[in-house]
A and B are shown apart, each in its own frame.
Chain A
Amino acid sequence: MSDGAFTTARLHGASGIHFRPVTMERKRVRLALILISLAFLALFLVMPVLAVFVEAFRGGWPAFAEAIFEPDAAAAIRLTLLVAAISVPCNLVFGVAASWAIAKFDFRGKALLNTLIDLPFSVSPVIAGLIYVLMFGSQSLLGPWLKSEGIQVIFAVPGIVLATIFVTFPFVARELIPLMEEQGRGDEEAALSLGASGFQVFFRVTLPNVKWALLYGVLLCNARAMGEFGAVSVVSGHIRGLTNTMPLHVEILYNEYQFAAAFAVASLLAVLALFTLVVKSVLEWRYADEIAATRRH
């Protein structure tokens, strides 16, 4: 190689380091876009979360602990856990049943069923609460009968559970259906041909194939169940110590100008959100192939 040839390549910035592929923007443009994005995220995402924790600990640890262990707050935390403990398993069973039917069988109306499962995503949480008030409230058709039987749904735990189930309805099914459709029926048919029973097929073939997606769906379902505000607010009646979930408790404290206490309880929910994001990201990075819907919500 002559020195001349080498110099020419260098002169023209062709040495790889200076070369900019045609699918890449100028460095100035790249830098500007990244900075704009960071500023936008800082302003709209990072600052609010930061604010929650700063405000929560404004009064120091003692005030924080008091706000959390105070009886009404403790009752709200217990109720939130209870509601999630009922509604998440319900939607888990439904999600598995729906994805089994949709992904492993062909039948008429499948596309419609798929659409209907997504329906709750496009209904305002307030309307989700409203429909149960219309169904079980004192004004409803069932109202007088429920009253005579001594069953209270609205302004009580059952109503809160129902509203929560509604708003978290699609989460598990949404994660499972695309993945199970992609995986097809071959594995199940093979297991059956080898003599496995229906339950063996499900627990030893299907479930292991979708376990990460299932966990992913349950995680999102749980986060939303614990944090739901609008729907629960409509059916709860805001009875302190009885029908207040954590988000509702935050609202009451905030409206009573007990900001530090409100943010203390809010910070627990924020921790839950951050935890959810961390687990979700880990699942996405490690099991991207086993989570079909990594990029859809």
Chain B
Amino acid sequence: MNAITPIEAGVSVALGAPIDVTIENVQKAFGDTPALHGVSLDVKAGELVALLGPSGSGKTTLLRILAGLDAPTAGRVLFGGDDALGLSVQQRNVGFVFQHYALFRHMTVFQNIAFGLTVRPRGERPPKAEIRKRVLHLLDLVQLTGLDKRYPSQLSGGQRQRVALARALAIEPRVLLLDEPFGALDAQVRKDLRRWLREIHDRTGHTTFFVTHDQEEALELADRVVVMSKGRIEQVGTPDEIYDAPASPFVFEFIGESSFLPVTVVDGAVQLDGQSLDLAALGSPHGEATLGFRPHDVSIVEDGGPAITGTIVTERRHGGARRLELEVGTEKHRVEIDMPVDHSRAPGGQVTFRPHRWRLFPR
């Protein structure tokens, strides 16, 4: 559906220019339990940032601190260079979308979206006709034209989520915060809404944070991904950087598929059980390290050169490839590699391979 752009409709959705958000050494503890240990992050105006991590990584806590729903134990948050922590939730002017929508179920879709405008003090409240115009425009934007008189209970999950977004956009927020926005939806609806959210963002240009534990979602949707674990930021980068150059074994394992082997770096060369693997480790410190590679980033070696040899434990079909689970080295470490479908190998046999893309993490 080709919705009207905000400019064409003559009603702006974003209030002025989007703002930068700066998070400086934000710490948070619930009682004695630390939830965030000194998180710092600079987000540029109009960026779409994913906070990615497993549950308990502190990503939702960070989002709630940005919204003012929680207060940090220490640290600073700046909206457009101005301190935001001194502002109440109401003054902060952020649009917040909850995973389970949190729609007002006794209000129609129209009343839900109009709520933020109708609670403004009399002097700042737009006239009724203006509110109506804006709500109907937002309904167009989220592709729910004509559903204004429905109650939330009469909508599907995806429709409810779009109402929640329209309601957040209605107050012309300075920052948009989405907490697992697609977490409660079916796989297919998730995919559609993901594309749609990206389009909306490109059109409205809000500085947007969204929390997710779905790496695919984060990589596909975000300008930059913030990978979090145990209350700390593990890595910040573009989807390419996160995927191709993970900064830690945690990121490597969390994003995409991965196999690890304990190795030793001797004079800039990687060794396994004292045997060189013909992998150059220039710049890596001497000593113990972890070699990480993705199952599909390996080549089968048949020329007898230095490589990794393993015994096949299982073999199964995996999408467009054949996935082998191998036991490698004297310690029988388990790793997974992919082979072309036509290379069927029986368990018990030997395979020799060499990763053509890999990362070394000193231990």
Interface residues of A (CB under 8 A from B): 1-2, 5-6, 8-16, 19, 21-22
Contacts and interface: CB of A to CB of B under 8 A. Distances in A.
Given A14-B85, A16-B29, A22-B89, A9 B69 contact: no
A1 B29 CA distance: 16
B341 to A, nearest CB: 45
Contacts of A14: 71-73, 85
Contacts of A13: 71
Given A12-B85, A12-B86, A22-B89, A6 B71 contact: no
Interface of B: 24-25, 27, 29, 38, 68-76, 83, 85-86, 89
25 contacts: A1-B27, A1-B38, A5-B25, A5-B74, A5-B75, A5-B76, A6-B74, A6-B75, A8-B76, A8-B85, A9-B73, A9-B76, A9-B85, A10-B74, A12-B85, A12-B86, A14-B71, A14-B72, A14-B73, A15-B71, A15-B73, A16-B71, A19-B70, A22-B69, A22-B89
Contacts of A11: 86
A89 to B, nearest CB: 45
A151 to B, nearest CB: 58
Contact of A12 (B38, B69, B83): B83
A9 B89 contact: no
A8 to B, nearest CB: 5
Contacts of A8: 76, 83, 85
B71 A19 contact: yes
Nearest to B28: A16
Contacts of B85: 8-9, 12, 14
Contacts of A21: 69-70
Nearest to A2: B25
Contacts of B86: 11-12
B29 to A, nearest CB: 7
Contacts of A5: 24-25, 74-76
9 A-B pairs with the lowest CB-CB distances in the bound complex, closest first: A19-B71, A14-B71, A12-B86, A12-B85, A9-B74, A14-B85, A6-B74, A22-B89, A1-B25
Chain A interface main SS type:
loop
Output the residue of B68, B70, B74, B86 with the most chain A CB within 10 A. B74
Contacts of A1: 25, 27, 38, 74-75
Contacts of A19: 70-71
Nearest to B67: A22
Output the residue of B25, B70, B71, B75 with the most chain A CB within 10 A. B71
A279 B38 CA distance: 50
A21 B74 CA distance: 17
Contact of B75 (A9, A16, A22): A9
Contacts of A12: 83, 85-86
A15 B65 CA distance: 12
A68 B75 CA distance: 70
Nearest to A6: B74
A9 B38 contact: no
Contacts of B75: 1, 5-6, 9
B73 A16 contact: yes
Output the residue of A11, A13, A16 with the most chain B CB within 10 A. A16
Nearest to B69: A22
A10 B72 CA distance: 10
A21 B72 CA distance: 12
B251 to A, nearest CB: 24
A16 B38 CA distance: 16
Given A9-B74, A9-B85, A12-B83, 19 more contacts: A1-B25, A1-B27, A1-B38, A2-B25, A5-B24, A6-B74, A8-B76, A8-B85, A9-B72, A9-B73, A11-B86, A12-B86, A13-B71, A14-B71, A14-B72, A14-B85, A15-B74, A16-B73, A22-B89
A15 B27 CA distance: 10
A10 B83 CA distance: 13
A8 B89 CA distance: 18
Nearest to B30: A16
